[in-house]
Amino acid sequence: MSFHYSNCVPKGDSNATEDILKAAANPKVISFAGGLPAPELFPVAAVKKATDKVFDQFGQQVLQYAGALGYSKLREQIAAIMKTRQVNTTADHIAIATGSQQAIDLVAKMLINPGDVVLVEDPTYLAALDVFRSYGAHLIGVEMDDDGMRMDDLQQKLADYPEAKFIYTVPNFQNPTGRTMTAARRQEMVKLTHAAGVPIVEDDPYGAIRYAGETVPPIKHFDHHGEVVSISSFSKMLAPGLRIGWLTADPAFLQKYTLLKQNADLHTDNLTQYIISQFLMDEDLPAHIKKITDVYEHRAKLMLAEIDHEFPADVYHSQPEGGMFIWVQVPGGIDSDELAKRCLEANVAVVPGSAFYSGKAEPGTFRLNFSNMNDDQIKVGIKRIAKVINELGTN
Identical fold between 16-42+287-394 and 44-282: no
Q: If the chain, 395 residues long, is cut into consecutive pieces of 10 residues, what is the mean pLDDT of each piece?
A: 75 63 75 93 98 97 96 98 97 98 98 98 97 97 98 98 98 98 98 98 97 96 97 97 97 96 96 98 98 98 98 97 98 93 94 94 96 96 97 76
Say if residues 344 and 32 touch (Cβ distance below 8 Å): no
pLDDT of the residue at 282 = 98
pLDDT tens digits along 119-136: 999 999 999 999 999 999
Share of the chain above pLDDT 90, in %: 91
Among positive and negative, which fits the CA dihedral 112, 116, 120, 122?
Answer: positive
> In 240-372, where do the E strands start and end?
245-248, 316-317, 325-329, 348-349, 351-352, 365-369
The second-level CATH assignment, the architecture, of 44-282 is 3-Layer(aba) Sandwich (3.40)
Domain segments of the chain as ranges: 16-42+287-394, 44-282
Q: Considering the chain, what percentage of its residues have pLDDT values greater than 70?
A: 95
Cα 378 to Cα 32, 306, 391, distances in angstroms? 8, 8, 20
CA 170, CA 48: separation in Å to the nearest integer?
A: 32
Per-residue pLDDT reduced to its tens digit, 269-306: 999 999 999 999 999 999 999 999 999 999 999 999 99
Evaluate the omega torsion of the peptide bond into residue 176 and state whether it is cis, within 30 degrees of 0. yes
Q: Please tell me the class of the 16-42+287-394 domain.
A: alpha beta
